[in-house]
Amino acid sequence: MSQQTIKQSDFTPIQYTEAETEKIVGESTSYWKDAWRRFKKNKLAIGGVIIIILLAVMSLAGPYMTEYNYYENDLINANQSPSAEHWFGTDNLGRDMFARTWEGAKISLFIGLTAAIIDLIIGVIWGSVSGYIGGRVDEIMMRIADILSALPYLLVVILLMVVMPQGLWTLILAMTITGWINMARIVRGEVMRLKNEEYVLAAKSLGASTTRIIARHLVPNMLGPILVTLTLTVPSAIFTEAFLSFLGLGVPAPLASWGTMTSDGLASLRYYPYQLFFPAFFISLTMLAFNVVGDGLRDAFDPKDKR
């Protein structure tokens, strides 16, 4: 085999200036843009967002799309199957199921979102203070959280319902009295991980107060886990409301929620299954949508999942 001689003329030098060699070709991307880019690639999560938006819109517009309201009894038209007049049929008191379904969506979504926001506020404050201060304060605050989480949840709810008048806000209070603990534990873990970072130590050395460090430096840098936990808290609160309403501890009549409709429809399951199908279907659809969105956010905000 003959060996070929390599000549200098075989090479063509690349003519680049120093400025051109240091030029950044790719577009600069922020943390949030990168998370949004990865979230958009998750088609299931995008579908969940669309479903949540449609449910929210229908909860506001749905009751006005029919001439019937959700609370008036019409015994003459009781237990009618779905038809052109009553799109989802009527219940055992003759109330229009279409209007009640979307009124129930409004109540259920309101309870779920309100309970999740209250859990967010209490959990972020409690977990941030506990994790940042540490020491004896952390020990006392987390033991209080452990004691509250050890209380039987259903017993606490029943006691509150007995002591306080049954209503929407009593139900929300019952769900949030211990619901913030999971958020507090997640935030505490993130704060303990971040509080020794250079930017936190720099802010502390410049004389920043504890409140400012938590609000301006720690909370913005743990928004990913907070948003994921918040998204997964909403379906849990909706299911809890449905469960309590199913036991008769939900919103009082004539208010309608998916839980109370499910409880009413169970008695007629053998003869009028549609009365149970519609509220149960929308509960399942809502929980599925929020859970896939939560999973999508978790994957998008996870730096170890970059591709």
Burial label for 198, CB within 10 Å (0-12, 13-18, 19+), is exposed
Q: Mean per-residue pLDDT for 142-156?
A: 83
d(CA 208, CA 80): 66
Q: What is the pLDDT of residues 154-206, one digit of tens each?
A: 777 778 777 877 777 888 888 888 888 889 999 998 898 888 888 888 888 88
Percent of the residues in the chain that have a pLDDT greater than 70, as a whole number: 89
Residue 133 in this model has a pLDDT that exceeds 80: yes
Q: Which of these ranges, 48-62, 98-112, 128-142, 155-169, has the smallest mean pLDDT?
A: 155-169
What does residue 267 show for φ and ψ, rounded to 5 degrees? -65, -25
